[in-house]
Structure 1
Amino acid sequence: MQNPIPLEEGRALFGRNTEIYQEGRPDYPERVYDLLKKHCGSENHFQAFEIGPGTAQATEKLLHMGYQVTAIEPDPNLAMKLNKRLEGYPQNSFTLVHSTFEDAKLPTSYFDLGIAATSFHWVDPAKGLEKVFQLLRSGGWFAMWWTVFGDPSNMDAFMQKTNHLFAPLSTSPSHKAGYRHPYPLQKDERINDLKKSGFTEILSEEIRWASQMDVRRTIQLVSTFSPVARLNETERATFLCEIERIINNDFGGTVKRNFVTAIYLARKPE
């Protein structure tokens, strides 16, 4: 395994440039929220917690669905960005807890829904799921999902052309088994983790989608990848210049990217 990024260090990488992170990460497919509404939503279910909300992509969706959201964010820069982005919402609809999820002080058997959007690989899975289970009321739901930026079952031409650039970099917990076997797509393992923690009614789905991306959008997205964000300033600039060169010279300035969003939903028994 190539130089894995420790959890504590990785959690601090994404707040280094919150503007790039907010602009670089594409929205999740609407199918994610359709599944939440179908299986987890109800006019009687209002309390939700979110693990690692980042710049509030999923948080805003929960607020629009009518949930009161408690967001647990360990990075101080992302926490400030989150507060600024959500300052227009009613004061009682959003609470920010500045902490790691493992250390956060939260009421047990209280929440109707918990979510982790492209964040749970930065949490110790056994301890994290144990805590999630404790926080949910009986009958409450947990949903964790990730977007994998490069579908290993349908590799786009850009991914094939640039894999050699990413190979020497550090390894995120989401790709510790290699880019062909990302953590979110290890379906049996993720389902077994949920079962071991006591969850039932487990559902999973892989949502495949594509995006046409110009140089700017691609560079912004690549900049948010933890192995790239971890590089020093000179190394990162050199790396991104090579990405830009490939996009312009080999793809005429635009690339088609194949992504897959994997979601898992599970319920705490009544």
Structure 2
Amino acid sequence: MSGLPLQAGRTAFGGNPDSYEAARPPYPDAVYAALRERCVIDGSRVFEIGAGTGKATFPILVDRPARLTAIEPDPRLATHLGNLADRNWPMLEIVAHPWEDAVLPDNGYDFGFAATAFHWLPQAQALRKVFQTLRSGGWWAAWWNVFGDPDTPDAFHQRVAPLFRGLRNSPAWEPGRRPFALDIDARVADLKLAGFEQPVVDILRWTISMDAGQVRALAATFSEVVNAEAPARQKLLNALASAVDDEFGGRVDRNFVTPLYMARRPGG
């Protein structure tokens, strides 16, 4: 079965923004600590690609950028993000367009980022635009929460991985290949090809305890599950919840990993 096309990422996550927001765990605090070490956010002009429900948007806003331009192609998610922001974040600007269609000034931003989103874009083309949008000396960062650490797989991951076979896989994790976000050589090569210098990679590993409802809710946000036929989707989600309760005593410890890539546009 073929994988999901890149265009699927523009509409896969907006069907129930509240459920998505509740189900997806936050990014580790260490991500934001690492960004603060290299990328000046306070008072800067910032853009985000694939803002979604704001899982990374709001933690960045806490650092008080002068402006944060959030690019979100799904109008449902863009509206949801705007409703969450309301008047509390006047520096937030939401652009409801795909990255390739968004009109941003060249050399106009100090910092840009994408959180669990950039795998839905053609890398060379998207990074060229990122490079042009940043000022000389500006920083780019991309990170992902990878839900299952292939280097230290937990027992639950090993038990349920076969249940996902037969679904149309996301570009984030293609069968037989290193997960997109953890293919460090490829990601660094993409950055260098686009003209970036000083690539820095941090790999953050963490474990979270989840009950059956949390496991089911998180899996329901995966693009390959969202795009499955309804009977197959419900069968999978029921099987995941049953495995937690019947085989793991109602809770599972999940090993997740968050790779963070940072790179600088030369000059400045």
Question: What interval of TM-score do these two structures reach, taking the shorter chain for normalisation?
Answer: over 0.9
1:26 aligns with 2:25: yes
CA contact (8 A) 1:146 1:261 kept: yes
Could you say what secondary structure the match of 1:239 adopts? helix
* Aligned length, in residue pairs: 266
1:175 aligns with 2:165: no
CA contact (8 A) 1:102 1:128 kept: yes
CA contact (8 A) 1:111 1:137 kept: yes
Superposition pairs of residues 52-91 of structure 1, within 5 angstroms? 52-67=50-65, 68-91=67-90
Could you say what secondary structure the match of 2:104 adopts? coil
- Looking at structure 2, the residues matched to 35 and 232 of structure 1 have their Cα atoms a distance apart, in angstroms, of 40
1:113 aligns with 2:111: yes
- Looking at structure 1, the residues matched to 140 and 175 of structure 2 have their Cα atoms a distance apart, in angstroms, of 25
1:9 aligns with 2:1: no
The letter of the residue matching 1:153 is D
Q: Output one character per residue of 1:50-88: Cα deviation in whole Å (capped at 9) or x when no partner.
A: 000110011001110111210000001111110111114
Superposition pairs of residues 126-165 of structure 1, within 5 angstroms? 126-165=124-163
CA contact (8 A) 1:49 1:70 kept: yes
- Looking at structure 1, the residues matched to 94 and 41 of structure 2 have their Cα atoms a distance apart, in angstroms, of 23
Superposition pairs of residues 170-249 of structure 1, within 5 angstroms? 170-178=168-176, 181-249=178-246
CA contact (8 A) 2:111 2:139 kept: yes
Which residue, out of 257, 261, 266, partners 2:258? 261
CA contact (8 A) 2:212 2:242 kept: no
Q: Output one character per residue of 1:112-131: Cα deviation in whole Å (capped at 9) or x when no partner.
A: 00000000001110000000
Deviation at 1:177, TM superposition (A): 5.0
The letter of the residue matching 2:238 is C
CA contact (8 A) 1:177 1:183 kept: no
Deviation at 1:176, TM superposition (A): 2.3
- Looking at structure 1, the residues matched to 264 and 2 of structure 2 have their Cα atoms a distance apart, in angstroms, of 35
Deviation at 1:262, TM superposition (A): 0.3
Unaligned runs of 5+ in 1: none
Unaligned runs of 5+ in 2: none
Judged with a 3 Å threshold, the aligned counterparts in structure 2 of structure 1 residues 245 and 201 are, in CA distance, closer, same or farther, namely same
- Looking at structure 1, the residues matched to 16 and 208 of structure 2 have their Cα atoms a distance apart, in angstroms, of 23
Deviation at 1:201, TM superposition (A): 1.1
- Looking at structure 2, the residues matched to 262 and 150 of structure 1 have their Cα atoms a distance apart, in angstroms, of 12
Could you say what secondary structure the match of 2:2 adopts? coil
- Looking at structure 1, the residues matched to 122 and 37 of structure 2 have their Cα atoms a distance apart, in angstroms, of 29
1:125 equivalent in structure 2: 123
TM-score (norm 1): 0.96
The letter of the residue matching 1:10 is G
RMSD over equivalenced CA pairs, Å: 1.2
- Looking at structure 1, the residues matched to 55 and 199 of structure 2 have their Cα atoms a distance apart, in angstroms, of 24
The letter of the residue matching 2:17 is T
